[in-house]
Amino acid sequence: MATTIRCDIVSAEAEIYRGEATMIVATGEMGELGIAPRHAPLITRLKPGKVVVTTAEGEQLDFAISGGILEVQPQVVTVLADTAVRAEDIDEASVRAAKEEAERILAHRGEAMEVAEAQQRLAEVSAQLQALERLRKNLKH
């Protein structure tokens, strides 16, 4: 039997995932992190991007997050995300529309605050689109 660690992914709105995992991969400020059972305790900030959870059964679950905090404790890994969504729950049409709007704002260089918000939104929707692409790729195999 493989060694596992509990993984909780929580957003401001709801608990997104809770289960046993053999590996959790997330995008930290300094790059991608791989967390396996018995990992040293740590806390780090997460950038908008992906979280991939490999379950005890070997299934890979893909999530897109808009940033947050990852905490590793001896028995549990907690992802506290600003927003988080499972790849299969992403509404591609609305994500593409949000991406186009953010790109439009950036192209026209609006006010500084508007540009910063557009950059953040662009990072979020890009992470969601990447999660969709990974989901489609995994479904083909």
Kindly report the backbone phi and psi dihedral angles of residue 5, in degrees, each rounded to the nearest multiple of 5, phi listed first.
-135, 145
* Distance (Å, whole) CA 62 – CA 87: 6
pTM of the shown model = 0.68
95/30: higher pLDDT: 30
Q: What does the pLDDT look like over 49-69, one tens digit per residue?
A: 889 999 999 999 989 888 899
* Distance (Å, whole) CA 42 – CA 22: 17
Predicted pLDDT at 1: 44
- CB-based contacts of 89, cutoff 8 Å, min separation 6: none
- Encoded tokens for 16: 């997104």
Asked if pLDDT for residue 77 goes beyond 80, the answer is yes
* Average of per-residue pLDDT values in the chain: 82
Asked if pLDDT for residue 72 goes beyond 70, the answer is yes
Predicted pLDDT at 86: 76
Asked if pLDDT for residue 79 goes beyond 90, the answer is yes
- CB-based contacts of 65, cutoff 8 Å, min separation 6: 9, 11, 26, 46, 48, 49, 50, 51, 79, 81, 82, 83, 84, 127
Predicted pLDDT at 87: 64
Count other C-beta atoms under 10 Å from residue 55's C-beta.
17
